[in-house]
Structure 1
């Protein structure tokens, strides 16, 4: 392992402020990935971050062969409640915080390498990542970003012929991702439960210094920080619910202090609407089912509050937690009105939403297609054929459509204005599991064309994109048999 020459990556400013907390993890050099080949680079994002690297540099950096000047690879230690049970020592078992790039705007963004080899927190793992899960995260994080949902981002992906053993033998890969911070609820749980509460202010101050410096001047800075975490988490989960997104593993070690979607594993976007949908076949009890995500978000925040209880007054923590439900429901209600093309709030809206979802669940209506095609509905006349195609029993919807049309008549927008507004919030293209699976299968054969096509579509999910309409159809029946687990 050696750094790039100083002449390489000119004008790239790298630091690793977090690595100065020697007590917060371990310095570990990446284990380079053999026979690595560059598969994807997010050049637009790299430009935003001020990372002007050649393809060879991206390959060497992402495969763990070389580092940029200023990088100090560091494996973070944290704990977490996993499926409700506490695990006292987790940490970056296959990932390293390489450093923090200082962007042209003066912001700090983590550069986090997944699949970098063993660390002291690997437990019995091999520290590697496989192409299947790495490409799934690359695709999902970009899809979420372009939907406007807070998330980590993917920078680059490499693959290799190095065998990695999961349920079966797969090929190795490494993913370089980025975010303003990768701090999780579990970081604070680790120091609380390991009887090191004196370390917690160091992490809180780091978060304030790097993300919310204005809080440094407040005598209630820690309390205000916690309330921001509560509100951001509530907003994030409201967006998940509105988008029909299931995370799959909402353990506290997968919960971001910045309210970002973090650690994509067995995620999934709803196909046929099912409020009880479980996207992770390892989740036998349905703890992280789609309709449980709001409650789990609060439960996780309560665990964080407990970890911070020695540094923020209990009453203050409880007051902030008490704002979660209202914030989530208010945001979700706002998003649902937008999805249905409604500008104003009416008392009858909750019943309209509730009855719609009841019918969708009963008739297994495709979630994303329903909202997109609902924009085609006119004030009177026949239902659009594309909308009818989603309904196995259209007569059961007559009363609901009559109520919806009456509700639209109370708005002040024209049909064209409403359709444009609905199309701007209801994506035509979402990352369905069967689409990701097809891209993965081709990538495993050395063909990245399907992944490139998906990234193109997902970068403009609200646009029509003629010629690609077949990507916007409901999932085929065989997609229901796709098995997504924590190893994904």
Structure 2
């Protein structure tokens, strides 16, 4: 057999930084691990053999029971603001970087094991991840990728009968996750707020060298870095809002310097539309509610800008932050232009959209199914559409909105089929609803990972009809209303 996993590239670029940036730490072995799911398409993209039989010891490598020959795994230190409160030291408490590999597109990707045991920054915790949260992270990161939203990826998940304790006894799992880097805003905060300005400059230079080389020749490379991160974050948030995704814990240590969706904990996709939806049961104040996410992103960017102040001009940083709102609104408009199937966006379209949001809010109308049905049914003829209007409390008001929308579509001069094609390409039929993840979790807790694989296969093509997965597009059952996720999820 060709043991391709053992031939991964070594020496992660993070090791090029001074030793105070990380600690070398070996994963802690888990008892009796099984390979619960393997992302064969991603494996192939990473240059690995997608056939699990081609790898000797694959499960042990992915769990941390075996080290890639010559590997020196590491964990990094950072800090951050959690629910608005500064915490001076956090770090990779249960995530260990084991290798790097150049993918088929020539992009270097890190492979990190989440749940592989304690590190110097575990804060007296066990460094483990529970099965339920690991399933949710694996499925959501791949669902986001299928939706075309910037995200970390998941290569595999292993599971073990080994007991770990949270609120109650649970079992352990390890997710092998992939990204060009897991560096986050909190890394920069750490070196600034600890007075290590040399370390801050080193980290900025390293980040620019490996991920933003276009910033190197700017008059102020640190300012150029801030500006591009602001732009990427604005675009990311527009993506989130368009699909009804709530992160749940947008702390600065969960914000990617690359503008990726990072650290899937108490996330949730909205079922019925509620602008104030709070997906995280631990978020008692609603700090990270759906309608607060763009503003929180800006708040987090302000903390990043503050961390970079030793390297750039304060007024320039403030000016850069002032671009966020326009960048977000432009990206947001682009998302909803596509969702409505329109060839362009006009100022009057904001009124059309606001009226729709108010109608959706009043009836807590299913967000995903409404948009998909609008793309398929809303333009079929000039009459009211029962399949859509019955989703609303004020049906007559929706009839008027639909009339206004159809007039806007007619004014484009595009054929209805063209409008529908655009809209279907922007409105997914399938998302990772909480109850779908819960069903997969319950089966996995009985040792059956087939539902997890089925969900993954469906969510990899969320815009396709896929009649074999029609059950996943149904509105959630009544029991789903009792589900809640928290920071322990």
**Which TM bucket (shorter chain)?**
over 0.9
Distance 1:412 1:446 in 2: 55
Distance 1:340 1:234 in 2: 21
Say which SS state the counterpart of residue 97 (structure 2) adopts: strand
Q: Give the equivalent residue in structure 2 for 1:327.
A: 327
After superposition, residues 131-170 of structure 1 pair within 5 angstroms as 131-170=131-170
Structure-2 change in CA distance of 1:272 and 1:420 (3 Å):
same
Distance 2:100 2:152 in 1: 14
Deviations 1:130-152 (A, max 9, x none): 11000100000000001010000
Distance 2:394 2:226 in 1: 48
Q: Give the equivalent residue in structure 2 for 1:404.
A: 405
Say which SS state the counterpart of residue 411 (structure 2) adopts: coil
Say which SS state the counterpart of residue 181 (structure 1) adopts: coil
Aligned residue among 9, 19, 33 for 1:13: 9
Distance 2:105 2:352 in 1: 45
Say which SS state the counterpart of residue 182 (structure 1) adopts: coil
Bigger drift between 99-108 and 314-323 goes to 99-108
Question: Structure 2: which 5+ runs fail to align?
Answer: none
Q: Give the equivalent residue in structure 2 for 1:286.
A: 286
After superposition, residues 196-345 of structure 1 pair within 5 angstroms as 196-345=196-345
Give the superposition deviation at 1:97.
1.3
Structure-2 change in CA distance of 1:270 and 1:8 (3 Å):
closer
Deviations 1:123-179 (A, max 9, x none): 131110111000100000000001010000001100000001111111100011010
Q: Give the equivalent residue in structure 2 for 1:437.
A: 438
Distance 1:384 1:399 in 2: 11
Q: Give the equivalent residue in structure 1 for 2:448.
A: 447
Preserved contact between residue 13 and residue 103 of structure 1 (Cα < 8 Å): no
Preserved contact between residue 142 and residue 458 of structure 1 (Cα < 8 Å): yes
Say which SS state the counterpart of residue 172 (structure 1) adopts: strand
Q: Give the equivalent residue in structure 1 for 2:22.
A: 25
1:174 equivalent in alignment to 2:171 = no
Say which SS state the counterpart of residue 177 (structure 2) adopts: strand
Say which SS state the counterpart of residue 127 (structure 1) adopts: coil
Bigger drift between 102-111 and 238-247 goes to 102-111
Preserved contact between residue 142 and residue 459 of structure 1 (Cα < 8 Å): yes
Distance 1:317 1:77 in 2: 25
Give the superposition deviation at 1:425.
0.6
Distance 1:70 1:427 in 2: 44
Give the superposition deviation at 1:83.
0.2
Give the superposition deviation at 1:70.
4.6
Bigger drift between 447-456 and 269-278 goes to 447-456
1:47 equivalent in alignment to 2:25 = no
Say which SS state the counterpart of residue 421 (structure 2) adopts: helix
Distance 2:2 2:79 in 1: 37
Distance 1:204 1:347 in 2: 39
Preserved contact between residue 5 and residue 58 of structure 2 (Cα < 8 Å): no
Give the superposition deviation at 1:113.
0.7
Deviations 1:289-339 (A, max 9, x none): 000000000000000111110011112211211111100011101111110
Preserved contact between residue 15 and residue 102 of structure 1 (Cα < 8 Å): no
Q: Give the equivalent residue in structure 1 for 2:370.
A: 370
Give the superposition deviation at 1:210.
1.4
Preserved contact between residue 59 and residue 158 of structure 1 (Cα < 8 Å): yes
Distance 1:343 1:386 in 2: 25
Bigger drift between 363-372 and 341-350 goes to 341-350
Give the superposition deviation at 1:223.
1.6
Give the superposition deviation at 1:392.
4.5
Deviations 1:407-430 (A, max 9, x none): 111112211111111110100001
Q: Give the equivalent residue in structure 2 for 1:386.
A: 387
Distance 1:419 1:29 in 2: 53
1:473 equivalent in alignment to 2:474 = yes
1:106 equivalent in alignment to 2:103 = no
Distance 2:226 2:100 in 1: 23
Preserved contact between residue 97 and residue 112 of structure 1 (Cα < 8 Å): yes
Say which SS state the counterpart of residue 116 (structure 2) adopts: coil
Distance 1:165 1:10 in 2: 32
Distance 1:442 1:281 in 2: 24
Give the TM-score normalised by the residue count of structure 2.
Answer: 0.95
Bigger drift between 349-358 and 221-230 goes to 221-230
Distance 1:413 1:435 in 2: 37
Cα RMSD, aligned residues only: 1.7
Preserved contact between residue 389 and residue 399 of structure 2 (Cα < 8 Å): no
Question: Structure 1: which 5+ runs fail to align?
Answer: none
Give the superposition deviation at 1:205.
1.5
Bigger drift between 311-320 and 360-369 goes to 311-320
Q: Give the equivalent residue in structure 2 for 1:426.
A: 427
Distance 1:71 1:51 in 2: 17
Bigger drift between 200-209 and 141-150 goes to 200-209
Distance 1:476 1:17 in 2: 47
Preserved contact between residue 70 and residue 99 of structure 1 (Cα < 8 Å): no
Say which SS state the counterpart of residue 162 (structure 1) adopts: strand
